Amino acid sequence: MNLEDYVVEKTKKAKEISGEFSLISDSCRKDILNKIASELRNNSNYILLENQKDVSSAKEKGISKALLDRLKLNEERVFSISKSVEKVANLSSTLGNIVKMWKRPNGLMIGKMVVPLGVIAIIYEARPNVTVDAAALCIKSGNTIVLRGGSEAINSNKALVNVIHSAIEKAGFSKEIVQFFDVTDRKVVDELIKLYQYVDVLIPRGGPSLINYIIENSRIPVIQTGAGNCHIYVDKYADINKALKIVENAKVSRPSVCNAVETILVHNSVAEEFLEKLYEILKNEVELRGCEKTLEILPQIKPASNDDWTTEYLDYILAIKIVKDIENAIQHINTYGSKHSDAIITEDYPTIIKFLNEIDSAAVYVNASTRFTDGEEFGFGAEIGISTQKLHVRGPVGVEDLTTYKYIILGNGQVR
Amino acid sequence: MNLEDYVVEKTKKAKEISGEFSLISDSCRKDILNKIASELRNNSNYILLENQKDVSSAKEKGISKALLDRLKLNEERVFSISKSVEKVANLSSTLGNIVKMWKRPNGLMIGKMVVPLGVIAIIYEARPNVTVDAAALCIKSGNTIVLRGGSEAINSNKALVNVIHSAIEKAGFSKEIVQFFDVTDRKVVDELIKLYQYVDVLIPRGGPSLINYIIENSRIPVIQTGAGNCHIYVDKYADINKALKIVENAKVSRPSVCNAVETILVHNSVAEEFLEKLYEILKNEVELRGCEKTLEILPQIKPASNDDWTTEYLDYILAIKIVKDIENAIQHINTYGSKHSDAIITEDYPTIIKFLNEIDSAAVYVNASTRFTDGEEFGFGAEIGISTQKLHVRGPVGVEDLTTYKYIILGNGQVR
């Protein structure tokens, strides 16, 4: 079979079975997920053996330590993946709910019913846990799924999909609800993103080049996730101790993730006190880069260039800019930010209201770390990424966001 | 200025002013819209004069009567456009509402706040009323707007935009919230659909070729509207009189719109009685095309080919297929339909539940005409189109659907 037919065939199967799958009860979906969770634990040896093949060839190719860490599984990680599947199984489901229903003057009753999106395709890179996490969220939300993972993790992914398939069959359903491409040719992606007749939504997960490529070329509607150039603004009326604790946490607790802070903006009138204290806290761990005014206070740090304002470091680097007022801070964030997560530290009520109203980001924080932008922390149980677009879903993409609705209209002979 | 700079400049202005505009109160938005409504009435002579230019050159070019009818304005039409603007002005607004707010175990309070999308671009064809309708809906929902109308209506559109601009200024706001391209070069579209950094959502309104072109090429998220290949299934347990009345209404009341019915499916056991009666009602107005079994009952009508099942006629044509059961009907609709509006006529409860659950369309009707899929009829007051995609909005796209949300998170020093 040629590549095009191969991609069409698998994707078409996901579509064909999606109607039937959308109708099964939540207890059946729960059962499938619990079976996947237990099969993952039962087959951890097999999974780790296959993962070892990927790790060995990755080492031979000399990939970075960070990427290797994302790729590598161990027993503990497999157990934790299995645990998250159980957690997703137990989330509440809104499928089939009529979120509102109203009566029109002509007697028609119109209701809005929550239904699955249909078929969700995920294109992702090296992390094999995405295979399981994405499948679990899509199954819970009644969608069928088309997975296309990176070549570095192909053996791990195949093993995980085998385990998932056997679990689905043990639960009495067709394994065709989870489609996986075992060919890693890049052309699979190019074929897949054309198939709007079979795929309802496409979610790319990975670096900016993957995501941009897909947005540029996809014929299928995309949920864009990823880039987090997050800010914390330390206001004139900030509680300096809260500010220090929050900035440290937002930068240092996990710099490689999208909700870590990248630039802080500091009000002129508290800059000296705050920055000197911050420097003492971060100096051994974080590279600081400051604007001209910052360098007057901290001459020992590097100067920041214009590029620093737009960069998502994902590293132990922090840019610092001194601003003259809240307007300045808001303008900087709305201009250079990625509309992901931005925080203000202040005790002043009018300033808080202004910041909440005027910052155009998915998550706008008052006196808390930006690190909380996360499905788990928001109380959604799990997420498939953080959306930075405005259509359909903004912020953490949870199970409820993988649904849509249809109108049901009950009449008794009405005509127009 | 070259064309690229021209498109960028106007679109960028819409973005720059969108933050400020998103913050004005609903009473200000109402005031702007009421001023637009009254200025339209006050300037109807000017608008009709400019429209006459378009109508004359359209006639010279020999465009179809139907298109000419869409292009032509008269005093009554201008008044009715003005009336719809007033109606939009008076719709209730959800902007700024916190639709829910919850407290996390760590004390963080997380709220979901309704906000405008930002900048909406509309690319449309000959109908000049779209200029006003689209602008009104976007203003009401706090968005700024970029309009690109068809060349056939360029003089009418310029006049309408002039009137809109002067009304906005009379209300004390900047006319820059409504951007309009007075150059009709097709390249404007090609430049516009690249500008994802300035435009949050793109809504094409027009024929399938325009919509497909934009979906294929846009870098900006699109709300897809349009194609309606709608069905009515007349079940074994149908009330035949209701069925006749509904099918007639859905076909004949306005065949040129997307919610008109194109194919009817008739249960075998009622086919003879129903089709003979239907033929008597429609024979002088509608061209009927039937499947083989239909031709056994109505040998005088044309045969339907496979193409008929996928065609949106938008005309006095109706395809007829006899099916052996509800499964058959559902499968036909989900296979050949455009997921717009589909109806069942039956008095049987289990059949109704099955149809409601299994039809994968934006609007699923029981015992009513598909013609009700419309913002006005649903009670939304107005709409910008009928979405046939599943992301963000399905069915009539009203004012509330032109919004998104952001999370506001109130903390008191929380770190992760």
DSSP annotation string for A117-153: -SEEEEEE-S-THHHHHHHHHHHHTT-EEEEE--GGG
Tens of pLDDT, residues B185-217: 999 999 999 999 999 999 999 888 899 999 999
Give the residues across from A289 on adjacent strands: A302, A319
Residue numbers in A near B215 (CB within 8 A): 196, 219
As a whole number, the mean pLDDT across chain B is 96
On the CB side of B369, how many CA atoms lie within 13 Å of its CA? 23
Q: Cα(B353)–Cα(B335) distance, rounded to whole angstroms?
A: 20
Whether B118 contacts chain A with CB within 8 A = yes
| Residues B58 and B153 reside in one and the same domain | yes
Task: Using DSSP bridges, classify how beta strands A109-116 and A403-414 pair: parallel, antiparallel or unpaired.
Answer: antiparallel
In which band, very low, low, confident or very high, does the pLDDT at A173 lie, cut at 50, 70 and 90?
Answer: very high
Of B201, B334, B412, the CB nearest to A391: B201
Q: Which of A110-114, A206-210, A219-223 has the lowest mean pLDDT?
A: A206-210
Residue B264 lies in a domain: yes
The answer on pLDDT for A127 being more than 90 is: no
Query: Do B396 and B373 meet the contact criterion of CB atoms below 8 Å apart?
Result: yes
Residues of B in contact with A412 (CB under 8 A): 242, 367-368
d(Cα B387, Cα A180) in Å, to the nearest integer?
30
User: B409 and A223: CB-CB below 8 Å?
Assistant: no
> Is a pLDDT exceeding 80 seen at residue B126?
no
For chain A, state the CA radius of gyration: 24
Does residue A285 sit within a domain?
yes
Cα–Cα distance between A402 and B161 in angstroms, integer? 39
Is A115 strand, coil or helix? strand
Residues of B in contact with A367 (CB under 8 A): 410-414
Q: Does the residue A65 lie in any domain?
A: yes
Distance, in Å, from the CA atom of B207 to the CA atom of B209, rounded to the nearest integer, reads 6
Q: Average pLDDT of B313-321?
A: 96
Output the CA angle A307-A308-A311, nearest 5 degrees. 90
Residue B386 lies inside a defined structural domain of this protein: no
Q: Amino acid identity of A286?
A: V
List CB contacts (< 8 A) between B354 and chain A.
Answer: none
A207 pLDDT above the threshold of 90: no
- The answer to whether position B332 is within a domain reads yes
> Which residue in the set B222, B377, B416 is minimally distant from A249, CB to CB?
B416
Task: Count the domains in chain B.
Answer: 2
- Condensed to tens digits (0 to 9), the pLDDT of residues B322-378 reads 999 999 999 999 999 999 999 999 999 999 999 999 999 999 999 999 999 999 999
- The H-or-E segment that residue B12 falls in is helix B3-22
Is the interface score ipTM higher than 0.90?
yes
Give the residue from B309, B305, B319, B306 showing the smallest Cα distance to B266.
B319
- Domain assignment of residue A357, given as a range: 230-377
Question: In this complex, which of B362, B364, B415 lies closest to A246 when CB atoms are compared?
Answer: B415
For B292, other C-beta atoms within 10 Å of its C-beta total: 10
Q: In this complex, is the C-beta atom of B372 within 8 Å of any C-beta atom belonging to chain A?
A: yes
B311 and B403 both lie in a single domain: no
How far apart, in whole angstroms, are the C-alpha atoms of residue A373 and residue A259? 6
Q: What per-residue confidence (pLDDT) applies to A66?
A: 79
Q: Is the pLDDT of residue A126 over 80?
A: no
CATH number at residue A328: 3.40.309.10
Question: Which tens digits make up the pLDDT trace of A58-98?
Answer: 999 998 887 888 899 999 999 999 999 999 999 999 999 99
Please report which confidence band the pLDDT of residue A227 belongs to, taking 50, 70 and 90 as the band edges: confident
Same domain for A102 and A152 = yes
What does the pLDDT average to over A162-178? 98
Distance of CA B336 to the CA centre of its chain: 21
Nearest CA in chain B to A331: B19
Nearest CB to A371 within list B245, B408, B416: B416
> Could A405 and B394 be called an inter-chain contact, meaning their C-beta atoms sit closer than 8 Å?
yes
Q: What is the DSSP letter of B412?
A: E
Q: Are residues B188 and B93 in the same domain?
A: yes
Contact B194, B4 (CB under 8 A): no
Chain B CB contacts of A223 under 8 Å are 391
> Which of B390, B397, B402 to mutate to probe the A interface, most A CBs <10 Å?
B390
The answer to whether the CB of B59 falls within 8 A of the CB of B67 is no
Asked if the structure places residue B385 within a domain, the reply is no
Q: What is the CATH number of the domain that holds A198?
A: 3.40.605.10
Q: Is residue B132 part of a domain?
A: yes
pLDDT at B249: 98
**Residue at token pair 């959604």:** A380
Residue A277 half-sphere exposure toward CB, CA atoms < 13 A:
15
Asked if B30 and B77 sit in the same domain, the reply is: yes
Indicate whether A218 and A245 sit together in one domain.
no
Measure CB to CB from residue B404 to each of A364, A390, A414 and give the nearest one: A390
* Contact between B260 and B226 (Cβ < 8 Å): no
pLDDT above 90: percentage of residues in chain A: 94
Same domain membership, residue B250 and residue B137: no
- One domain for residues A175 and A150: yes
Q: What are phi and psi of A311, to 5 degrees?
A: -90, 135
pLDDT in tens, B203-254: 999 888 899 999 999 999 999 997 899 999 999 999 999 999 999 999 999 9
Nearest CA among B317, B389, B380, B326 for reference residue B133: B380
Rounded (10°) CA dihedral A50, A52, A57, A62: 150
pLDDT tier for residue A184 given thresholds of 50, 70 and 90: confident
Q: What is the pLDDT of residues B62-99, one digit of tens each?
A: 988 878 888 999 999 999 999 999 999 999 999 999 99
Q: What is the pLDDT of residue A291?
A: 98
Distance CA B302, CA B289 (A): 5
Tokens of B155: 């003089």
- Portion 158-217 of A in contact with B at CB < 8 A: 196, 200-201, 215-216
At B102 the three-state DSSP class reads strand
Look at chain A and count its residues.
416
Nearest residue of A to residue B24 by CA position?
A357
Q: How far apart are CA B251 and CA B317, in angstroms?
A: 8
Query: Contact B392/A394, CB-based, under 8 Å?
Result: no
Question: Do both B65 and B214 map to the same domain?
Answer: yes
Angle in degrees, 0-180, between the axes of helices A44-61 and A26-42, rounded to the nearest 10: 70
Sheet holding B119-124, edge to edge: B178-180, B144-148, B119-124, B201-205
Average predicted confidence (pLDDT) for chain A: 96
| Best CA proximity match to A261, nearest among A361, A132, A121 | A361
Q: Which pTM was predicted?
A: 0.94
B283 and B167 fall within a common domain: no
Same domain for A184 and A56, yes or no, is yes
B400 touches chain A (CB under 8 A): no
Q: Answer whether residue A274 is part of any domain.
A: yes
Size of interface A-B (CB pairs under 8 A): 198
Same domain? For B63 and B212 the reply is: yes
